[in-house]
Amino acid sequence: MAIEIFNRYEKKYRLDELTFTRLQKRLSDEMDLDEYSKKNGVYPIASLYYDTWDSQFIRASLMKPVYKEKLRLRAYGTPNAESKVYIEIKKKVKGIVNKRRSALKLSEAYAFLSGGGLPERRPTMNWQVLNEVAYMLEQNSLKPAVYLYYERRAFFGTGNTDLRVSFDTNIRARRVQLRLEQGTYGEQLLEEGQWLMEIKSARSMPLWLCRLLSEYKIYPSGFSKYGTEYTRTLDWSRNFAAAHADRRAIYV
């Protein structure tokens, strides 16, 4: 059985193109590119986030509680029905991120997440994770809420194998055609040339990395992809409603 479990601290930072270019060169002295980045420079990641009709999960997350959770379906690239994808549960408790996932075929994942019951069991599945997802689906009326896509370049620590530094760019989102196979279009969440850096480690950040962040004056940003998309959608809805209210007032 393929069990993929991650427990770690995560910090996020927003970088401009110049800082990204300089920083990744310095990182290469202490870290190695992951296999996907070695082959392609950056690699695509697409996710469907599941939520309730009133966005309960993301609204709770934005309140920064002690405990929060998310459910998503993730693919690397644009999949077809037979492609391997991952159902992921991501939880954060007192600053520690726990991520668990199980691989399925895309067609199986859609059927399961839409209420079709657990898929036929195979050795490659993490059955504990799937049972937990089934419980989440039973307790909440969940449906696809937003599609998120980005391109990633990632480094792994050589001496500290728990350390991972990733850089995401071309982050875009949409709330229509919520299927992973529908392509990667969407509204940009970052300005052109910006990168989102994430530092992930099960232990304290190494001193050499702290010094690099200080040297380049890089500070945490707290940027959440789903949270940013939701906030923008909410702002747009409010502005739209206010504009139409003003128009109605003219004709009253």
Going from N- to C-terminal start, the domains of the chain cover 4-251
Query: Is residue 14's pLDDT more than 80?
Result: yes
Query: Is residue 1's pLDDT more than 90?
Result: no
Average pLDDT on 156-185 reads: 91
- State the pLDDT confidence band at 203, using cuts at 50, 70 and 90: confident
In the chain, beta strands by DSSP E? 4-15, 31-33, 43-51, 67-75, 84-93, 96-105, 143-157, 164-174, 187-188, 195-201
Rounded-to-integer distance, Cα 126 and Cα 121, Å: 9
Query: Is residue 6's pLDDT more than 90?
Result: no
Query: Is residue 86's pLDDT more than 80?
Result: yes
- The answer to whether the beta carbons of residues 96 and 7 sit under 8 Å apart is yes
Our measurement of the distance from residue 166's CA atom to the centroid of its chain's CA atoms, rounded to an integer in Å, reads 12
CATH class for domain 4-251? alpha beta
Rounded-to-integer distance, Cα 241 and Cα 239, Å: 5
Please state the pTM of the whole predicted model. 0.89
**Maximum average pLDDT range among 111-125, 148-162, 235-249:** 111-125
- State the pLDDT confidence band at 45, using cuts at 50, 70 and 90: very high
Rounded-to-integer distance, Cα 101 and Cα 88, Å: 4
| DSSP letter, residue 30 | T
Per-residue confidence (pLDDT) for residue 8, from 0 to 100: 84
